[in-house]
A and B are shown apart, each in its own frame.
Chain A
Amino acid sequence: MKKRGVGIGLSFYGTGYGNGFPDVSNAEVQLMEDGKVAIFVGATEVGQGAKTALIQIGAETLQLDYKNIIFINEDTDMMPDSGTAAATRQTYNTGNAIKIACENFNEEIKKAAQKALGLNSTAGLIVKDGVVYLAMFPDKRISYKELSKIYKDDIIKAKGTFTAQTVKMDDETGQGAPYWPYTFNACMVLVEVDTNTGRVELLKSIFAQDVGRAVNPRLVEGQMDGGFAMGLGYTLFEDLNLDKGKMRNNRFSKYLIPTSMDMIDIENIIIEDPESTAPYGAKGIGEPTTIPVGPAILNAIYDATGVRVTHLPVTPENLMKAIRESEKSEAI
């Protein structure tokens, strides 16, 4: 028989290293000879979209088209340390470092423009689209290209460092505020369970994710889809099958992960509630997107069958075992 059920999973997740551990990101920005601006950060792109979102944060702060930004993030000879691409921390932590470095750079290039234009001070100078100009008298202007001819590269540059604020938990009581910021989400799934085969079919999902500010909404949705797929695999398929410490499912024909055929179209909802300490309000969502999926599926299975599964993965055989046991106890 086929039975349907709905389940909801909720999560909140502290991003960054946390617990008072020094969590530092550095960024460097400099004017290049061709008038372009280079950003150097140690934020590894692992598919999450760091290269895109972090350039966007830089472009916004520099008021410069992203095409005029050179982004170096995976050359350890050139870039400063920005911590690991882990702990859902790059958008928030390195995003903040880039924003600070770019703000510092804007001040440096204003100083250079002041000199070149023979002005009394940098007051009233605006940077926009690769030009520094005086707000009260816009004819007083100089482009980054012209400045770069005067100063060459390696002259106009700035640094930025962001250190996240977290508090070490009390060793005795375990009390404290170990993380900041937190990311929140809610995931609903509708499933259909075949009570003869134990197959769990996902029919629908609505997934709401708080991101502070979506720097790139398409990437946010991509991370939500990806996190959901991983949560789905973790819940229904993935099993190392450890036998005395040995992995028995040691190949992908045995260690199953979802295929595109097993994924469904998810109705993603992006919640924007800007975080005051974040770059333009943006928080990371890398890990959080996986967390509520398992609980949502397990709750939906419970709603459909009355069976509470406490062991993952819920393979058809494991679920049938649980269903048979619950039928037996009902019969008694």
Chain B
Amino acid sequence: MTLDQVFKGNSISEVLELLNQYKEDAKIIAGGTDIIIGLRNGKITPKVLIDISKIDELRQIQVEENKIIIGSATTYTQIVENELFDTNLYGFKKACRLVGSPQIRNKGTIGGNIANASPAADSIPPLIALGAELNISSLRGNRKLLLEDYFNEKEDNRLRADELLMSIEFEIPKKNQVLGFSKLGLRKALAISRVTLSSLIGIDDDVNIENIRVASGSIGKYPMREREVEEALIGKRFNSEILKIAASSLQSSMDKRLVGRSTYPYKRRAVVTLFEEVYKDNLSYFNEVTL
């Protein structure tokens, strides 16, 4: 099959109708940073491309009540430059800033990162830690899906051929909560992640961990919640003593998941430093803010 036509979508309804018409023969293109490469090396062979990069509703970051809603065609540069992500959401900004290079961040979109479902997608673990939900639409209707469920093995959860990822939304963390992120890449820019880690930690007046979500990238088949670590840390006092607990519970989860893989001994030890980095990010926020 060769590429036949490229549609420039002017509105969401137009895109949904095109998707409904062409279904499996169509691919959505936004930034094109992955899809163009896929087309070139023949990994994907759509008949039509539907460009959503000029639809304003899909390229904006909005605040509604206590939620942040990010349109799926929003670029990394838009996210990095938005001051909403400067304080306790800095972990998300950090993750987006470590994606590719400035050129890729100018074109690449948050929705593309999710829809491609790469196990090494940098922006996913922080969004999972935030409990982000996806808004998905088609002519058949709208549905919401928890991001962490999108990546598990249930095929049902994946985007169907007639569906469009509209936006990603999550609750704005409270003042006593902070999102941290760390990435292990093979160099400082343009590096595919070996391992990523992100945590949303909330502390109470006694500096005990009141709520926590931890998510990882590339230490399983897909980006996922690290529930064993969460259970080990909840209620603990937020100080450097949690580092050992976090490391050993992360490693025990990895032992179940990764044993026998050639990268396992390396990643098992690397997560120690990654959690330390996340902890330091979180600590510096708590040190600066008066709760």
Contact surface of A with B, Cβ cutoff 8 Å: 194, 196-199, 237, 253, 256, 258-262, 315-317, 320-321, 324
A-contacting residues, B255-291, CB 8 Å: 263, 265-266, 269-270, 272-274
B186 contacts A259, C-beta separation under 8 Å:
no
B43 close to A (CB within 8 Å): no
A11–B187 Cα distance when bound, in Å, is 27
B121 CB, nearest partner CB in chain A, Å: 15
Knowing A196-B270, A197-B273, A320-B266 are in contact, say whether A237-B186 is a contact too (CB < 8 A): yes
B32 CB, nearest partner CB in chain A, Å: 16
Please list 28 pairs of residues, one from A and one from B, whose beta carbons are closer than 8 Å in the complex, sorted by A's number. A194-B273, A196-B272, A197-B184, A197-B269, A197-B270, A198-B266, A237-B186, A237-B187, A253-B190, A253-B192, A256-B186, A256-B191, A258-B187, A259-B101, A259-B187, A259-B188, A259-B190, A260-B189, A261-B189, A262-B187, A262-B189, A316-B184, A316-B186, A316-B194, A317-B263, A317-B266, A320-B270, A321-B266
Provide the residues of chain A in CB contact with B266, threshold 8 Å.
198, 316-317, 320-321
B188 contacts A262, C-beta separation under 8 Å:
yes
Question: What is the interface of chain A mostly: helix, strand, loop, or mixed?
Answer: loop
| Candidates A196, A237, A259; contact of B269 at CB < 8 Å | A196
A127 CB, nearest partner CB in chain B, Å: 52
User: Quick one: closest A residue to B262, CB to CB?
Assistant: A317
User: Quick one: closest B residue to A319, CB to CB?
Assistant: B266
How many residue pairs link A and B with beta carbons under 8 A? The number is 48
User: Quick one: closest A residue to B270, CB to CB?
Assistant: A197
Provide the residues of chain B in CB contact with A321, threshold 8 Å.
266
Residues of B in contact, count (CB < 8 Å): 18
User: Quick one: closest A residue to B186, CB to CB?
Assistant: A256
B272 contacts A261, C-beta separation under 8 Å:
no
Knowing A316-B184, A324-B265 are in contact, say whether A196-B189 is a contact too (CB < 8 A): no
Q: Mark B10-29, 1 if CB is under 8 A from A, else 0.
A: 00000000000000000000
A320–B194 Cα distance when bound, in Å, is 14
A315–B270 Cα distance when bound, in Å, is 13
A57–B270 Cα distance when bound, in Å, is 54
B269 contacts A261, C-beta separation under 8 Å:
no
A256 contacts B187, C-beta separation under 8 Å:
yes
Provide the residues of chain B in CB contact with A199, threshold 8 Å.
184
A237–B191 Cα distance when bound, in Å, is 11
A77 CB, nearest partner CB in chain B, Å: 39
A196–B186 Cα distance when bound, in Å, is 14
Q: Mark B232-275, 1 if CB is under 8 A from A, else 0.
A: 00000000000000000000000000000001011001101110
